[in-house]
């Protein structure tokens, strides 16, 4: 997800894409991938949604080494026509959204250092590929991501990127989904985080609220700490119907004039699936960033 600072300034898609050059990864890089992969697949047991594990298998990812996009893309293209392309890091929103609209997912080409195992500012290949790509094998989620890219172009034209970034944050990055009677993780930011994968479901502190498009578009977020509230969708099909089968632009105009919400509050209009204790944010209000 984009909240880093070193954004490449290239505006065209071609100028953002680089060769992955799989041969450049060192033994340490492969070992870091393996350590993260092993730890995360273990902590995600009974926490990540079944669609995620299906995607991991379809892609053929393993702890053995950093994935080679050439090989991984054969499976991904066959599943939903998506492909992963390598980028040096965060890229401007315009080429980013264009890529998504063309079923191209930009993945950071670098992997974190062993001392950064638990948190890093900028999305690396582990966050992008382990976190985001498995669900791109799911047809409904793949459609959602492409429609999100398309909506991004309109958002740039109508100064609505702030709202769309919230939809990205509370679904693609930190979304929860029903799996039968259980609530499971699908957001890449949680899937790729050892701490948040446990906190989001096991810790009594966060609220679990039924996803609602207007509520999400009007709810800010902090980029540098765990969420105070998570939004739960019923399915990727329903997420797509609820969000992207209607024009967004009028919503931006309307919501700009209305009060925005914080992730701490619960509104009378909220469908509360689990009211949290809020304990985490009482004792650890460590956010150094402003509400987005």
Rounded to 5°, the CA angle 249-141-226 comes to 80
96 touches which of Fe ion, ligand HBI, none (CB within 5 to 8 A by kind)?
A: ligand HBI
Backbone phi, then psi, for 126, in 5-degree steps? -70, -50
Q: Which of 201, 256, 246 is nearest to 227 (CA)?
A: 201
2 touches which of ligand HBI, Fe ion, none (CB within 5 to 8 A by kind)?
A: ligand HBI
DSSP 210-257: E--HHHHHTB---SSS--SEEEEES-HHHHHHHHHTS--HHHHHHHHT
Q: What binding mask, one character per residue, do residues 219-258 give for Fe ion by CB under 5 A, x or -?
A: ----------------------------------------
Our CB check for ligand HBI shows the closer of 59 and 87 to be 87
Footprint of Fe ion on residues 187-206 (CB under 5 A)?
Answer: 188
Our CB check for ligand HBI shows the closer of 95 and 206 to be 95
Determine, following the binding rule CB under 5 A, whether residue 136 of this chain makes contact with Fe ion: no
Q: What binding mask, one character per residue, do residues 94-123 give for Fe ion by CB under 5 A, x or -?
A: -----------------------------x
Shortest distance, position 168 Cβ to Fe ion, whole Å: 8
106 touches which of Fe ion, ligand HBI, none (CB within 5 to 8 A by kind)?
A: ligand HBI
Shortest distance, position 137 Cβ to ligand HBI, whole Å: 18
Shortest distance, position 150 Cβ to ligand HBI, whole Å: 13
Please identify the residue of the shown chain whose CB is closest to the bound ligand HBI. 2
Determine, following the binding rule CB under 5 A, whether residue 1 of this chain makes contact with Fe ion: yes
* Whole-angstrom distance, CA of residue 201 vs CA of residue 113: 28
Shortest distance, position 118 Cβ to ligand HBI, whole Å: 20
* Whole-angstrom distance, CA of residue 46 vs CA of residue 84: 27
Q: Which of 24, 49, 89 is nearest to 197 (CA)?
A: 49
* Whole-angstrom distance, CA of residue 53 vs CA of residue 215: 29
Where along the sequence are the contacts to ligand HBI (CB under 6 A)? 1-2, 87, 90-91, 93, 96, 106, 108, 123, 161, 164-165, 168
Residues that bind Fe ion (CB under 5 A): 1, 123, 188
């Amino acid at each position: 997800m984009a909240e880093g600072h070193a954004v490449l300034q290239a505006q065209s898609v071609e100028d953002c894409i680089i060769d992955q050059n799989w041969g450049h990864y060192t033994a340490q890089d492969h070992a870091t991938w393996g350590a993260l992969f092993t730890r995360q697949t273990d902590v995600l047991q009974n926490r990540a949604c079944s669609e995620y594990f299906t995607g991991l298998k379809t892609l053929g990812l393993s702890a053995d080494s950093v994935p080679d996009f050439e090989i991984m893309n054969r499976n991904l293209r066959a599943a939903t026509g998506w492909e992963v392309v390598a980028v040096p890091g965060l890229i401007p929103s315009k080429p980013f959204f264009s890529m998504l609209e063309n079923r191209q997912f930009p993945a950071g080409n670098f992997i974190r250092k062993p001392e950064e195992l638990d948190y890093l500012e900028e999305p690396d290949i582990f966050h992008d590929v382990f976190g985001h790509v498995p669900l791109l094998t799911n047809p409904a989620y793949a459609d959602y991501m492409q429609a999100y890219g398309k909506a991004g172009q309109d958002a740039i034209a109508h100064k609505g990127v702030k709202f769309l970034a919230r939809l990205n944050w509370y679904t693609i990055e930190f979304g929860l989904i029903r799996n039968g009677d259980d609530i499971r993780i699908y957001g890449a930011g949680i899937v790729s985080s050892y701490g948040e994968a446990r906190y989001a479901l096991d810790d009594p502190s966060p609220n679990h609220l039924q996803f609602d498009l207007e509520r999400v578009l009007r709810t800010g977020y902090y980029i540098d700490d765990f969420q105070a509230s998570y939004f739960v969708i019923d399915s990727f099909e329903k997420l797509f119907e609820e969000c992207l089968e209607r024009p967004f632009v009028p919503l931006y105009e309307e919501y700009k004039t209305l009060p925005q919400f914080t992730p701490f509050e619960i509104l009378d209009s909220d469908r509360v699936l689990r009211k949290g204790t809020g304990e985490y944010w009482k004792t650890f209000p460590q956010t150094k960033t402003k509400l987005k």
